[in-house]
Structures are given as structure tokens and as C-alpha cells.
Amino acid sequence: MTHELRNIFESFALAQKQGIKTVLATVVDLDGSSYRKPGVRMLIWENGYMLGAVSGGCVEKEILKQSGSVFTTGTAKVITYDGRYRLGCEGIIYILMEPFKPAPESIKSFNEILTTRIPFEVVSSYEKEAGESTSFGSIIKYNNGSLIPFLGEKNKEAGSLNSFVQEMAPCNRLLIIGAEHDAVALCKQACFSGWEVSIICSISNPKTTNDFPGAKEVLALQAESLANLEMDNQTAVVLMSHNYATDLKNLLAIKEKQPIYIGILGARKRKEKLLDEFLIFYPEVEEAFLDKIHGPAGLDVGAITPQEIAISIIAEIMAVIRKKEDALSSKTTHPVLLS
């Protein structure tokens, strides 16, 4: 969700440069079931361009039509859709539509949130019925009370309005330690999913972001320097240097870190040998660290090509993040050739 909001802020910046107004649509409530859940958003430009989606594609045209009054009056409103008749779903969705014009200092603060990777909340005030009000609207809350309003200034007193509170974690981050062709495929798949990707290559064979489209950064580092990298509980690490000794050194370098996931390519026996040697060098390792290691990396989807393997790895990381134990009970044995 955080990466979707990041994309919305970026899209707003582009629209602002062109002098185009924008309206934000957010699903804030739901009776029954729907294709997507509360918290999904889309940004509408006054020229008709739309970024994001709040349904499977059935509602968006109507939202574009309904945005006209918000562009004209500058007043937020709630619209409702009975999905039982319109969408083929089993519920009624409530959509808050509000002018989106964060002030420059708000944009700066939001970018700092993304950079420092701190959690935050998005709080939307609304009524659970169709109508408009100057009290409707959304703000970001962070750092124990700091606020970022979506409309340049704080909305008028919400009073007894409903509040939809959405907890937002930092963007998922993938640290790929290795820079061969299969790392490019994994980088592309992660970037497509909205993740922040960092590539670690060797000093003897440096690469650039031109070699890894979408990557946030490409760093040429010795194994020892990995200990200086930030790895929070929204960070996944994949060791894919294609060299056993290098993977072992890299694993030892991050032994004090606590990423949410550590993936190792290759056969199961290779992982077991790697961990046996790791324990010889660092017998006092905490069990929590070992629990984060997955090998062979990826779910068992019969992956063969680098692209398919990338999908299987992303799927396994998502299963770990979302705590889908059933999905994790099956492990891949895809044929990755490693030296």
C-alpha cells in the first residue's frame, strides 16, 4: 500500500508542474465483500488521466465522472456503490473523493518518511452515506502526532464523523547480493511489484543502475561492508553471487542483521552445507536469524527460467511477509546452476 501512495504523490507532482488539478479517491468502508479492500486509492487528473484502481475496473469510469463536482467546488464527498448489482461482488463500497493538493512542506515530510522508513498512518474522515462536506478528508499521522494533510491545510473539525485508519509500513525493500543476469530478472519483478531494490555487486566487476532498470541503487561493496547496510523488518535479502565462498562470506557479514527474509539460491544440500560452515564460524548465532533463511529460495511453482524463478522468489517473500504458512510448506527445487 505504501508504494501506491508513493506513486500518487509522484503523479501529483507531475500534474502540478502542468497546472492540472487532482482528486484522490479512497475506499474507506465496505459492507460485505469487494474485489479490493478499504485503503486502496486512485488519483484522478482533471484532464481525465487516472493512476491506480479501486476495483477490478468496473467503478473507475464512474469515479472519473463523479470527480467533476469535486474539481468544480473543491469540496470532498462520499459516493457509494452497491456491488451486488453493479460489480458482481457481494458488498457495498464507500469511496471518499477529496481534492488532493498537499503543500510543498507536506511533500517534503512525506518523502522524509519514505527515506527514513518509519511507519505511519493515513486517517480519513467521512460519513457512511453519500454526500459532501468540507470536514471530509485525509491526513497522514507520523512521529507521535505530526500531520500531513492532503489538502494543504488541516480539514475542518471532523466532529462525530467516521474515521478510517490505515497503518502503513515502509515500502518492501529487496537487497540483492549478486549482479548476474538472473539478478536482473529478480530486480525487474520486484520493481514491478513496487518494491525498493538495492543491488550489491563486486568491486572487481562494478555495475550501474543502467544494468538494473528500476533499481534504487547499485553498490560495489566488499562483503565486510554489508554490515553497515540498513536491514529492517521490511527488508528481504537474496544471496545470489553464484559463488559458494562469496555467499558464505556475505551471510557471515549480515549475521547481526534481522531482515524479514534471507534467500539462498541452489540445491537444498548447498544450503545445508553453507549453514554448517556458517555455524562453524559463528556458533553463537541466534535461532531467530536461522529461521529467516530460506533455501532453495522461492516457492515450488516449477520455475525454470530466470523470470519464473524471480516470480517464485517474490512469491515466497510475500508469503513470509503475510505469514502464509501453508504456502511456505512447499519448497522449490528449480535448477539454478551455481559454481
- For residue 48, count CB atoms less than 10 angstroms from its CB and return exposed for 0-12, middle for 13-18, buried for 19 or more: exposed
Gap between the Cα atoms of 45 and 220, Å rounded: 41
Phi then psi dihedrals of residue 253, to 5 deg: -65, -30
Residue 327 pLDDT: 72
Q: Which residues contact 124 (CB under 8 A, 6 or more apart)?
A: 26, 28, 96, 137, 138, 163, 164, 166
Least trusted range by pLDDT, from 48-52, 159-163, 220-224, 257-261 = 159-163
Least trusted range by pLDDT, from 7-21, 83-97, 272-286 = 83-97
Walk me through the domains of the chain, giving residue ranges and CATH numbers. 2-168 (no CATH), 173-328 (3.40.50.720)
Least trusted range by pLDDT, from 52-56, 62-66, 306-310 = 52-56
Residue 145 pLDDT: 81
For the cut 90, the answer to whether the pLDDT of residue 297 exceeds it is: yes
Q: Which residues contact 51 (CB under 8 A, 6 or more apart)?
A: 7, 8, 11, 42, 43, 45
Mean pLDDT within 319-335: 71
- Is the pTM higher than 0.85? The answer reads no
Residue 90 pLDDT: 61
Decide which of 156 and 37 is more confident. 37
- Grid coordinates given for 101: 493538493
For the cut 60, the answer to whether the pLDDT of residue 335 exceeds it is: no
Decide which of 14 and 333 is more confident. 14
pLDDT in tens, 220-255: 999 999 999 999 999 999 999 989 999 999 999 999
For the cut 70, the answer to whether the pLDDT of residue 330 exceeds it is: no
165 forms beta bridges with 123
Phi then psi dihedrals of residue 291, to 5 deg: -65, -20
For the cut 80, the answer to whether the pLDDT of residue 91 exceeds it is: no
pLDDT in tens, 94-125: 999 999 999 999 999 999 999 999 999 999 99
Residue 159 pLDDT: 62
Give the model's confidence band at 11: pLDDT under 50 very low, under 70 low, under 90 confident, else very high. Answer: very high
Give the model's confidence band at 260: pLDDT under 50 very low, under 70 low, under 90 confident, else very high. Answer: very high
Gap between the Cα atoms of 131 and 201, Å rounded: 55
For the cut 70, the answer to whether the pLDDT of residue 303 exceeds it is: yes
Residue 333 pLDDT: 44
Residue 338 pLDDT: 39
CB atoms within 10 A of CB 287: 6
Residue 62 pLDDT: 86
pLDDT in tens, 127-152: 999 999 999 999 999 987 889 999 86
Residue 58 pLDDT: 73
Q: Which residues contact 44 (CB under 8 A, 6 or more apart)?
A: 22, 23, 24, 25, 50, 63, 64, 67
Give the model's confidence band at 339: pLDDT under 50 very low, under 70 low, under 90 confident, else very high. Answer: very low
